[in-house]
Amino acid sequence: MDSKVDMNYRFLWDKEPTDEQLLVIMQEVAEDVRLSRDKISKQISENIEREFARVCAEHKIPQ
């Protein structure tokens, strides 16, 4: 988190965050999304590989 920006903000407050606060918030959200995307992509790849191996074994297809 950027130490120059006062991040003492709550979404429940009546006032809007400053542009600087909003930038830091959105950067953190973007990083969380990147990490989630990477994790889900890995899980999908593993599932595809596992299912491919299962189908090959079921139909006796060499891999």
Report the Cα–Cα distance between both ends of the chain, in Å, rounded: 47
Per the structure block, which two tokens stand in for 58? Answer: 């079921």
Distance between CA atoms of residues 53 and 49, nearest Å: 6
pTM of the model: 0.64
Residues 6 or more apart whose Cβ sits within 8 Å of residue 22: none
Residues 48-58: pLDDT tens digits?
999 999 999 99
Q: What are phi and psi of 17, to 5 degrees?
A: -70, 155
18-38: per-residue pLDDT in tens? 899 999 999 999 999 999 999
Rounded CA separation 23/33 (Å): 15
- Model confidence at 62: pLDDT above 60: yes
> pLDDT band at 3, cuts 50/70/90?
low
